[in-house]
Structure 1
Amino acid sequence: MRAIIPLVPRAKSDAERNLATFISRARGATTAFGAGLNFDADCWDVTDFYAQKGHGNSKHGTITIHFMQRLKDGGTPFCRQLIDFAKAYVRSQLANRSSSSFTYAITAFRALDTAIQECDISCLSDCDAAVFNRAAELIRRKSTVDDNGSAGSVLGVIARFLDEKGFVYAPLHNWSYPRTRKATSGRVGPEFERRRHAKMPDQAALDGLAQAFHLATDPRDILIASVSAILCSAPERINEVMVLSANCEVEQSGKDERVYLGLRWFGSKGASDHIKWILPGMADVVREALTRIRRITEPARIMARWYEQNPGKLYLPPDLEHLRGKKLLTLEEVWEIANLSPDKRIVRGWMQKAHIPFAHIDLNHPIRGWIQIHAARFADIERHIVDMLPPCFPMYDERRGMRYSEALLVIPEGLFGNRGSSAGNRCMFEVVKYHHVGCALGQNKRAGSTTVFQRVGIDPEGKLEMRSHQFRHWLNTMAQSASLSQLDIAKWSGRADIRHNRSYDHMTSEEIVTKIRDAVGDHAKAIGPLAEIPKNLPVTRAEFAAMAVPTAHVTLYGFCVHDFTTTPCEMFRRCLDCREHVCIKGLPDKTERIRQALEANRDSLAKARKAVAENAYGAEDWVTAHQAAVDRLEQLLTILTDRSVTDGAVVQLNSTSTYSLSEGALLDRLHLDGTGAEMLAGVETTKRLP
């Protein structure tokens, strides 16, 4: 019987061969993550690689890449069709990027792994658009937010990489992740409240933090409260606080002869290094916080300077310097060096865990005679503790040329641990880690960690909690409510892209209504009908503002102040033609939409004029309508981009030739009565009043 020879298309065999070659090169020829990397392992520890690059995360814990599903999904490694390509892709494409870059890639690979198995794909080269569409669905379904656009974008990059390199048989035709868009990012409703609550710190926690700053006595509590005080003074990221230098202050006299305090910040996420000036109301708090931090961290910097000048030798504090000449140390002397609890069992356990061999000392006991007691060789203790020096010592951050002896947040090793004393190790240092701050503020409260609020005695039930990034959202929202310009907010926050401001704006609709009402009748704050209050009004300005602006909700271009409790929208969402629509200068996303609307209307106007030239019936009316819209949008955009108009100014459209349904019905009635022309001005005037 003759053997059956399967016929494989050349395009498919070429794709499989290209894929195999790519994986082979990544396995053997690529040295990213180290030449000795175990490529076949399902989990890579790349901490040392990022430590050599001076990456901050390497100082605050291990950096690992898991090529497997999450534990809650079974924790199984990726299928054989995908796992080798996933490793090759991460090693060849993501090794020179931030350690956070492969987080989204692994999320994308997890979804692709499940999709491949569900679609019964025998080889990665057989993947087509249907497989990636299924992976996109899985990303959305398993995301804790509405849509994980970051992982989805990476999935699209992987698809295009496979297509461009010829690793797939069926072309993917520039497949991209189909993102879902919300209908609105409004400021009312349970979804907004949930988002605001998650991003903004609780007021009770802020009050508790102020109390903790004054009540803290334990060094670790003083440190956490002081770091939090710095975060309250400037909208910085926690990773930027971690790389503050010990001499980060800058003081400068202003024109008013007052001394202003600034801090030198190292930028991140594309922002440049900068000096950030502290608000005068927080300057003394920040000075006190820095003084407290230095008092706690100075011993660690002394250790770091010692190890810089005496490589390979053990640092000993002055009261233990006499132990340096001894060959054998008793267990009591060991616990003094390592700052362990005064318990020989604990010391023995520590030595066993550190693989330090025991030595013995002959001792003439007054009752038992000559006996042997456990001891340790000084050389073994010295070697073990010196080996605890951080990777790449003495450089703390190579990109900025900062040493450990120059960093602000270096602490005695074990300061946040359970040692015999709260002062930490007297012979070794470490850096403040993200989880030290996070756990102290309550991020890991469910796992049993004790917060700073509990330790100072103001929250015995453990109800208070907050996250370090909430300070940044809180300060940005306050800047938005104070009508600070978007450029100033971006600069103040150390942000490279001004468009990212909107993710940190959590002003409520009530706060926006208050701002608009405050602008009513004030020419310095409003432009348009809202700035004009009729003379001899029989109500106060505040009462008139409440009537003129009963409520406000978000639109694509600004805010609508129509009272929907009386009538629904009669303009059919034609907001830019409505007199009950207001814009606020300084919101870049809404200004950009107005600019896009202007371009669209200019294009429509050009088409209408072309239709007039071709004698199309009724084209003149379209020219008139589009010309009016273009003129109105040009005036509005001119105001919103005018530098002489302060950010936060409320801009309202003047009377237009477009009327609502009720206005149109009224005008029709007046025309039937023969009084339309005479009453037109009156209709427009009364419309300004609710």
Structure 2
Amino acid sequence: MLNKYLDRLYLLIAEYRKQTLSQFEGADGKRADFDDLIWFYIDPNSGRKTRFLCGRHGAKGSGNAGNKPEFALPYPYSHLVKVWIIEVINEPISVGEKQARVSIARKLLSVMEGELYAQTDMIISGQSLPVLYEDRLRPFITFCLDKGLVRQPAIKGTFIKDRRDRTGNAEFDKNIMKLPPIESLIALGSIFTKVFKHVNEDGSEHKGEQVNITDAWIVTFALAGLASPSRLSAEVPVLPKQRLKTYAEGDGESVHYLDWIGSKGFQDNKTHVLGALAAEFEKAINFFFIKCEPIRILSRFYENPQLSLNALLGDFKVAEERKKVHLNFNKPPNLFTLGYVLGFYEIEDCVPILKSGVDLSSVHYVQRGQFFENKPINALTLSDRLSMSLTRKSTFSSLPFLFGYENLSKRIADDFSGALTATVGEIQDWWIEFFKRTILPEFPNAYTSSESSIRLADALFCLRGDWVYARHGGRGSGGKAFQASLFALVPLSSLGSLAGDKLTGTKLTLSIFEDYGFSRELAIRSHSLRHFGNTLADLSNIPHEIITAWSGRRSSEQTTTYIHTSHEERADRVRVILNKPENDSREIRVVAQEDLIQRINIPASITSTGICTQDLNVTPCDYLNDLVSQCFMCPEACYIAGDVKAIELFEKDCSYQKLRLEAVSIDRRLSVSQAMQRWYVTHSRNTYILSQLLNLMKTSQEGTVIRFSAKKYEFYLSNPQTKAISNTPCVLPDFDGLLHGLIENRSEEEGSNPNPQLQSLLSSFGLSEEGT
């Protein structure tokens, strides 16, 4: 039977299959095909390689994970995924966002029952779709609607469920949760001291001591978030190689800063570093400046293996004991002699090489060892032949030791077609090509989780694979082959993910706090440090324009969403600028609004009851209550004592709410309706608070700024003359007890006259219940 929706889908797939797909590769490295279960997009400008799974949702891992036939989606949806990938690639969004949009589309196609055209908003909303990704499904549904693949009346995009508590209290609590716990920050400081215990101020390590480089990276990553409100994962991994810079004018205080690569369209800049953390941050920066230099040299070697050893080393100081061997610094080194010079091996380390003129193909395996002889690593040449044995247990094995493993991946044996030996030059060429193709396809550049990038040889945090992954015995689950090698360089995006995971802990890994003996309850979300920095700057009375520039934003409107101050602090700030001039006859709230905007640059909007300090252009008001005065009890609202118009409105509202309560109190349904009882208690409480606010606005000194904390049930009053802040607790009556008494009284009345309506009807006929 013909179906117009499926016909359109078949035609759409046929149209897209005509494209050459020159920028896509399959898992085998060849040009992508519509039957492949994994696609890699190669950016033509940067060479950045992005992996997209095309099969059923649920496969985990990297590399070829998800490439098994059982992961394939049924046709035609197996091909629709590829169509969507081609569409998403052309969108001006980050790589992570592109992958997320494809992932949620695959999730829908994996869990839906029946055909896509049969889906409705109600059916989609009932699927187990990740809450955080629901809004990312909308572009896919919109695309399907535009192409006529789904039914227009059945799908309108209303499948997105808003599960958020949008009350004022919940919003305030949510903002406070965006700040890192102080206990975690204190613990982080203790961990930093332990990690860098054996590091001098200039970044050098104490003789005979070693530093855990992974832990050093994690605490430095977090310290950067405390020292400047940066986008940590997007900006810190791509910091250029540098030392902390200091500037001062005359006898003024020193200003510390770093050259910083911007993100999200913000230009590169010189970012200020807090003076209170400058000493610790400088020690950490100096440590990585020195420690990572050998890895930067290795990166330069990968770019051009023909450079001489002197050209590669630059200012790097080779250990004197390593200079004693016969090395020609004016000629290009090979991969392993360079590793020797950079300190990857011990001075006396040797590896077996095949004796000259021997053909192993005719020699029995047991006897092959006698045809190898040891040679110092520093003396290896490109023509020396090494065994392709994959385990260190073999007496003539060399490659596992040279690459830093106990057992090598079979990948190298496959690439050499099972050869028994290979020259150092052949292994070097294979490794560089493998590294650029598999481990870091965008080399010589490296990217963070966003679009920020840097030439890896210029990166401050250029880390070696075995430092980070520390799996000398194998790849580990989901890992790439040879990613823990002595010669592997860690992708900068992986550094950001590693630090973020270790600061919070995951199901599979302990947090850095647990590693150092602290409670598993301690954790820091990396982005919360950006909120902390902005809030701290705001509390220090730094203008929002400066906070905006310091945070790397192009617009100051977004800064307010990162500032989370308490009710008392906000009330004090409003009070400071509320000294109304005697000759200013305007409404007090108008004066307050203008001063808030001009003097301390925080958002301020006039409302019917006072001033709102929420930036309504960036975050529209979503606060609701059950009163006429809609702003009442909102955490962003402040009220001004003596504001006549606001007092009049509150008085009318209070009278009206009391009438509503009276009407409900005599309603016969109150004794049996739990919903009505809950409303009565809640509304009685809110009306009482409103009456208390009215009293304070009438009796307090004119101009006093009043805020209410629904969390503590307190009013905070800021006196404009004494500049003092006082709190007035709102002691609430026992409304539950009052409701209970009201219900009991009504039960007694109804017991004496159980059915007054029936009694009235019988009386009209001259009868009574007793006589019936």
Aligned length: 518
Distance 2:173 2:53 in 1: 35
Distance 2:189 2:228 in 1: 16
Q: How does 1:531-550 map to 2 (within 5 A)?
A: none
Shift of 1:100: 2.1
In the other structure, the counterpart of 1:589 is 616
Paired residue secondary structure (2:298): helix
1:430 counterpart = 2:430 = no
Q: Is the 8 A contact 1:276 1:492 kept in 2?
A: yes
Q: Is the 8 A contact 2:230 2:552 kept in 1?
A: yes
Q: How does 1:507-586 map to 2 (within 5 A)?
A: 507=565, 511-517=566-572, 520=575, 522=576, 525-527=577-579, 576-578=607-609, 581-584=610-613
Paired residue secondary structure (2:616): helix
Indicate how the Cα distance of structure 1 residues 418 and 495 shifts in structure 2: closer, same or farther if over 3 A, else same.
same
Indicate how the Cα distance of structure 1 residues 44 and 499 shifts in structure 2: closer, same or farther if over 3 A, else same.
farther
1:100 counterpart = 2:101 = no
In the other structure, the counterpart of 1:371 is none
In the other structure, the counterpart of 2:445 is 395
Normalized against structure 1, the TM-score is what?
0.62
Shift of 1:263: 2.2
Indicate how the Cα distance of structure 1 residues 204 and 325 shifts in structure 2: closer, same or farther if over 3 A, else same.
same
Shift of 1:23: 0.9
Q: Is the 8 A contact 2:120 2:155 kept in 1?
A: no
Normalized against structure 2, the TM-score is what?
0.56
Distance 2:6 2:637 in 1: 61
In the other structure, the counterpart of 2:403 is 338
Shift of 1:335: 5.5
Paired residue secondary structure (2:536): helix
Indicate how the Cα distance of structure 1 residues 137 and 526 shifts in structure 2: closer, same or farther if over 3 A, else same.
farther
Q: Is the 8 A contact 1:527 1:652 kept in 2?
A: no
Shift of 1:296: 1.6
Indicate how the Cα distance of structure 1 residues 193 and 417 shifts in structure 2: closer, same or farther if over 3 A, else same.
same
Shift of 1:392: 3.7
Distance 2:698 2:398 in 1: 91
1:63 counterpart = 2:51 = yes
Shift of 1:196: 4.2
Distance 1:24 1:335 in 2: 48
Distance 1:64 1:209 in 2: 36
Distance 1:298 1:429 in 2: 12
In the other structure, the counterpart of 1:382 is 428
1:324 counterpart = 2:381 = yes
In the other structure, the counterpart of 1:86 is 81
Distance 1:359 1:170 in 2: 58
Q: Which amino acid aligns with 2:340?
A: P
Shift of 1:134: 2.8
1:266 to 261, 270, 277: 261
Indicate how the Cα distance of structure 1 residues 54 and 470 shifts in structure 2: closer, same or farther if over 3 A, else same.
farther
2:241 to 237, 246, 254: 246
Aligned residues with identical type, % of pairs:
19
1:156 counterpart = 2:146 = no
In the other structure, the counterpart of 2:753 is none
Q: Is the 8 A contact 1:79 1:113 kept in 2?
A: no
In the other structure, the counterpart of 1:607 is none
Report the RMSD for the aligned CA atoms in angstroms: 4.9
Residues 623-681 of structure 1, C-alpha deviation per residue, up to 9 Å, x if partnerless? xxxxxx9xxx9xxxxxxxxxxxxxx99884753345458856999xxxxxxxxxxxxxx
Distance 1:29 1:583 in 2: 55
Q: Which amino acid aligns with 2:134?
A: A
Q: Which amino acid aligns with 1:492?
A: W
Shift of 1:177: 5.6
Paired residue secondary structure (2:490): strand
Indicate how the Cα distance of structure 1 residues 326 and 661 shifts in structure 2: closer, same or farther if over 3 A, else same.
closer
Distance 2:521 2:700 in 1: 53
In the other structure, the counterpart of 2:194 is 215
Distance 1:665 1:235 in 2: 44
1:418 counterpart = 2:470 = yes
Q: Which amino acid aligns with 2:490?
A: E
Indicate how the Cα distance of structure 1 residues 45 and 107 shifts in structure 2: closer, same or farther if over 3 A, else same.
closer
2:10 to 9, 20, 23: 20
Residues 204-230 of structure 1, C-alpha deviation per residue, up to 9 Å, x if partnerless? 321222122221132332232223222
Distance 2:104 2:471 in 1: 42
Indicate how the Cα distance of structure 1 residues 88 and 325 shifts in structure 2: closer, same or farther if over 3 A, else same.
closer
1:229 counterpart = 2:214 = no
Residues 152-196 of structure 1, C-alpha deviation per residue, up to 9 Å, x if partnerless? 3x443334333433445656797566663856353x46x865674
Distance 1:279 1:18 in 2: 59
Indicate how the Cα distance of structure 1 residues 481 and 95 shifts in structure 2: closer, same or farther if over 3 A, else same.
same
Could you list the runs of 5+ residues in structure 2 that have no partner in the other structure?
61-65, 196-210, 307-331, 342-346, 348-376, 387-394, 474-483, 582-602, 622-628, 656-695, 705-727, 729-772
Shift of 1:301: 0.6
Indicate how the Cα distance of structure 1 residues 590 and 379 shifts in structure 2: closer, same or farther if over 3 A, else same.
closer
1:656 counterpart = 2:644 = yes
Q: Which amino acid aligns with 1:443?
A: G
Q: Is the 8 A contact 2:296 2:456 kept in 1?
A: yes
Shift of 1:290: 0.9
Distance 1:666 1:354 in 2: 80
Could you list the runs of 5+ residues in structure 1 that have no partner in the other structure?
1-5, 341-345, 361-373, 530-556, 560-574, 595-628, 634-647, 668-681
Shift of 1:288: 1.8
Q: Is the 8 A contact 1:226 1:293 kept in 2?
A: no
Distance 1:469 1:664 in 2: 45
Shift of 1:29: 1.0
In the other structure, the counterpart of 2:166 is 184
1:33 counterpart = 2:12 = no
Indicate how the Cα distance of structure 1 residues 193 and 81 shifts in structure 2: closer, same or farther if over 3 A, else same.
same
Q: Is the 8 A contact 1:52 1:392 kept in 2?
A: no
Residues 266-296 of structure 1, C-alpha deviation per residue, up to 9 Å, x if partnerless? 2223333332212222233322221011122
Paired residue secondary structure (1:21): helix
